[in-house]
Amino acid sequence: MLNVLFSAKPAAWDEYQAPLTKALSDAGLEANLSCEMPSADVDYIVLAPNGPVSDFAPYVKTKAVLNLWAGVESIVHNKTLTQPLARMVDNGLTRGMVEWVVGHVLRHHLGMDAHILGQDGEWRTPYPPLAADRPVTILGLGELGLACSQALVTLGFPVTGWSRNPKSVAGVRCLYGDAGLDQSLSDAQIVVLLLPDTPATHNVLNTERLALMARGAFVVNPGRGPLIDDNALLAALDSGQLTHATLDVFRVEPLPGEHPFWAHPRVTVTPHIASTTRPDTASQIIAENIQRCESGLPLLHLVDRAAGY
Ligand code: NAP
């Protein structure tokens, strides 16, 4: 019998208890799944980083920590976490992100605000350009960036993707590393950020890089708040270098009421809702990973502790 500790907020337990119990059983695993058990007995921890476990030292026989979130920045540098850490890659999370990104890219591409917000009797006739004339850059070509880039390519956008390592993706101009960053931003009209929060990605969009984008460009950030220098973004909006920023993530969340993003007429704030892990599909991934570990296979989606994601 495996002991699986579920460490998250109580509301998450209500969502996950049934699907995770089912997924473990469907995977042929005999498991005792609970929110509470003696730490020395725990074989696996299913973890939300905002849950009760933050000291992993007492979990002496724990074989793996399975994160419920895609982002691991709040635990990857925890010195007590010596057990292998897997991050969440969940098809439901990915599909949700694709829908959110495509929706916000199309809003800006088509200039929807002019018609939705501007019902003032003026007959505004300029046609939006076709997607083929709107270069989009996606910073981060991982699980989420790749899926979003493919959806945008299908709609006809010329897509450039940027990653740490070289990649080859059909229909996407792939650039990588420090050398590829400036090139990927040059003349981009819409930039979507889907990078993890690591020391190497902080302020990736700063004053100099915002200036490389096409004048009047759009920024869409469902990645993480520290990817953007907030003051540089505000200055770029005020100067007209950027037309609009849609931001789902922030350095401090919830975004404090006095933050200038709330009141800025050309910033859209969404409250970190771009996508979320879906209990049914995520439970299957967790069960599969436990099954793999029990069979001596490598864990899926193992976090690279040195790289921080
Ligand atoms: P992932 O699969 O780990 O992909 C990360 C991508 O970023 C990879 O392409 C990676 O390059 C690239 N990258 C990392 N460090 C880099 C660097 N220094 N320079 C250039 N590229 C770098 O992660 P994911 O599942 O796509 O998720 C991405 C992020 O989305 C998460 O970390 C999280 O912060 C955010 N997220 C937000 C929400 C929301 O609701 N707002 C929901 C889920 C996730 P390589 O491919 O070369 O490794």
Residue 238 to residue 232: CA distance in whole angstroms: 10
- Six token digits for residue 104: 């916000």
CA of 61 to the centre of ligand 1 (A): 30
Q: In testing the pocket of ligand 1, which one of 100, 195, 201, 227 has its CB within 8 Å of the most ligand atoms?
A: 195
Give the tens place of pLDDT for each residue, 104-151.
999 999 999 988 887 888 888 888 999 999 999 999 999 999 999 999
Looking at the structure, tell me whether residues 18 and 163 fall in a common domain: no
Residue 40 lies in a domain: yes
Active-site annotation, residues: 224, 272
Give the tens place of pLDDT for each residue, 78-113.
999 999 999 999 999 999 999 999 999 999 999 999
Looking at the structure, tell me whether residues 164 and 58 fall in a common domain: no
Q: What is the extent of the structural domain holding 18? A: 2-90+277-294
Give the tens place of pLDDT for each residue, 201-246.
999 999 999 999 999 999 999 999 999 999 999 999 999 999 999 9
Looking at the structure, tell me whether residues 86 and 10 fall in a common domain: yes
- Please enumerate in sequence order all residues whose Cβ is within 8 A of that of 128, keeping only pairs 6 or more positions apart, or say none: 109, 110, 111
Burial of 249 (0-12, 13-18, 19+ CB in 10 A): buried
Looking at the structure, tell me whether residues 133 and 218 fall in a common domain: yes
pLDDT, position 64? 98
pLDDT, position 118? 74
Q: What is the CA radius of gyration of the chain?
A: 21
Ligand 1 pocket member 197 (CB < 6 A): yes
Sign of CA dihedral 277, 283, 286, 288: negative
- Given a contact cutoff of 8 angstroms between Cβ atoms, the answer to whether 144 and 70 are in contact is yes
Ligand 1 pocket member 195 (CB < 6 A): yes
Mean predicted confidence (pLDDT) in 10-23? 97
Q: Which residue has the higher pLDDT, 48 or 119?
A: 48
Counting residues of the chain whose pLDDT is more than 90, the rounded percentage is 95
- Six token digits for residue 245: 């920023």
Ligand 1 pocket member 164 (CB < 6 A): yes
pLDDT, position 145? 98
